Structure 1
Amino acid sequence: MAKVDANELETAMTLMDDPSDNEAWVCRASGKIFIRSDAIGDDEDIPDDVEDEDKYVSVPGMKSLDLGQALVFDFVDEHLPEDEAEVRQFFRRSGAYARFSHLVEDRGLRDRWHAFRDERIRSAMRAWCEDNGLTLGS
């Protein structure tokens, strides 16, 4: 199985949360990631056959792997159950993630949140790679 660089995959998945301006693929043979993005600009090395699903797999966004609100509420269930109603209110209007970050900071759980989030992201990326015949590297 081809090995995919974890940091590059995380970057690609983050970009794919706005797929209107971004596209990303992983080569099944080499594990190399190809990104087409206005933000990055350099898409000259994208192979002509990148849409051949036998050779390349499209990279999903983080949110499609339940790494958006679902991740926040999993953390809340485990570490802030008494604040669940307040966090649900956060997500009824814009700026929810900023308000959640302030709450986590106020409760002294910033490091725990970052560790929780990072582990869940790596776990989801590892599972996605395995589902697509790839291996997640470091």
Structure 2
Amino acid sequence: MLSLDFSEIRNAFEFVSSGSRDENNAYVCKKTGVIYWTSTTLDLEEEVPKDLETSLDYVEVPHKNELKLGQSLALTFIDQTLPDEYNFVASLFRKRGAYRRFKDMLQYQGLLEKWYAFEEQASDDALLAWCEENEIKLIDKEQ
């Protein structure tokens, strides 16, 4: 079983999730544990294997939306902390700039730090499950 530092997986996940789907990608080599980074918008100047996307030797690090850590997570948070605002927040996500307005509302309510902690825990939990599914043993994060 492949062993990696959780921080390496987390960094790759944050890179992938920092853009829209397929804008930034990261792939873990199942044999060596090396993480390869690619981007359609950034010049990373890193040589990567040509078969990253087709070979079974690599597993693609998921985007946050693939792990249901985008809009649905925000709505789950609102449902738990401000259930009376659920419909309002849901309407925010029908327009561009939703996350900015969502975070502005949380700042106004004094809940922004609570949101960040909730989001981080949900991300960690989802990444731990993803690592387990892909037979990646983590050396610095309790499972």
Name the TM tier (shorter chain): 0.7 to 0.9
Q: How far apart, in 2, do the equivalents of 1:31 and 1:79 lie? A: 39
Match 2:75 to one of 73, 76, 79: 73
Match of 1:134 in 2: 136
1:24 aligned partner, one-letter code: A
Q: How far apart, in 2, do the equivalents of 1:10 and 1:106 lie? A: 29
Match of 1:26 in 2: 28
Q: Is the 8 A contact 2:17 2:24 kept in 1?
A: no
Q: How far apart, in 1, do the equivalents of 2:106 and 2:139 lie? A: 30
TM-score when normalising by structure 1? 0.86
Q: Is the 8 A contact 1:125 1:136 kept in 2?
A: no
Q: How far apart, in 1, do the equivalents of 2:66 and 2:49 lie? A: 25
Match 1:91 to one of 87, 90, 93: 93
2:105 aligned partner, one-letter code: L
Encode CA deviations 1:20-67: one digit per residue, 9 max, x unaligned: x433211112322101113142231x12443311x1112221111101
Match of 2:17 in 1: 14
Encode CA deviations 1:57-83: one digit per residue, 9 max, x unaligned: 122211111011011011011111011
Q: How far apart, in 2, do the equivalents of 1:79 and 1:86 lie? A: 14
Relative to structure 1, the CA distance from residue 22 to residue 10 in structure 2 (aligned partners, 3 Å threshold; closer, same or farther) is: closer
1:6 Cα shift?
Answer: 3.1
Structure 2, unaligned runs of 5 or more: none
Encode CA deviations 1:68-104: one digit per residue, 9 max, x unaligned: 1011011011111011011011112111111110111
Q: How far apart, in 2, do the equivalents of 1:15 and 1:33 lie? A: 17
Q: How far apart, in 1, do the equivalents of 2:26 and 2:18 lie? A: 8
TM-score when normalising by structure 2? 0.83
What is the DSSP-based 3-state SS (H/G/I as helix, E as strand, rest coil) of the residue aligned with 1:135? Answer: strand
1:42 aligned partner, one-letter code: E
* Percent identity (aligned): 33
How many residue pairs get aligned? The number is: 135
